[in-house]
Structure 1
Amino acid sequence: MSRKLVRPREGRMFAGVCVGLARRFNTSAGMVRLLFLLSLLLPGTQVVVYLVLWVLMPNEDRHVATRY
């Protein structure tokens, strides 16, 4: 069974992007959050990527409703 990339309703701290990525790749949400925070110390477009994922990743409720 393939896991869809969605933003779940439970476990969110802000938008649910880190939790969605953690579930998709079967890892800890805390680890994804920590990696994101550490990546902010490096130059790059981390915040832009986060915002794009926030817009593009569907909410879990909407994803489940449109499956059927």
Structure 2
Amino acid sequence: MNGPLLRPRYDRKIAGVCAAFARAYGWDLTLTRLALVLLVFFGGGGLLAYVICWVVIPEEPLALPYAGTYPPPPVGYPPADYPPTNPPAPPPSV
């Protein structure tokens, strides 16, 4: 198994069930979708299995940055005169 069984928020056609299985088990996504279509048309239980998986498999969490993923700010940041005490003068009008 390559990862958790989670329905992705992107790269999905209907609900992401096929994409979830393809990612979790390292299968080809196109072949996974083709197998589902064959199950729906010839097996009869493919549609019911898809709907059950749609309800049972959780959706992937939102991608939020973790603390520590950004480099630390440079030393002396913000500058000592921030915010500036004397803002620049406006340009002269013509």
Alignment root-mean-square deviation, CA: 2.1
User: Which is helix-richer, 1 or 2?
Assistant: 1
Report 1 or 2 for greater relative contact order, CA contacts < 8 Å, sequence distance ≥ 6: 1
Runs of 4+ in 1 over 6 A off after TM superposition: none
Shift of 1:41: 2.3
Question: What residue ranges of structure 2 are gaps of 5+ in the alignment?
Answer: 65-94
Identity of aligned residues (%): 33
Equivalenced residue count is 64
Answer yes or no: is 1:49 the counterpart of 2:76: no
Quote how far apart the aligned CAs of 1:26 are.
0.1
Task: Tell me how far apart the structure 1 counterparts of residues 30 and 6 of structure 2 sit (CA, whole Å).
Answer: 17
> CA 1:2/1:31 → structure 2, altered by over 3 Å: closer, same or farther?
closer
Q: Structure 1 residues 2, 35: closer, same or farther in 2, change over 3 A?
A: closer
Tell me the alpha carbon deviations over residues 13-60 of structure 1, each in whole angstroms, 9 at most, x when there is no partner: 000000000001101111100111112222332111100100000010
User: Could you state the TM-score of these two structures normalised by the residue count of structure 1?
Assistant: 0.80
Alignment of 1:19-58 (within 5 A): 19-58=19-58
Q: Secondary structure at the match of 1:40?
A: helix
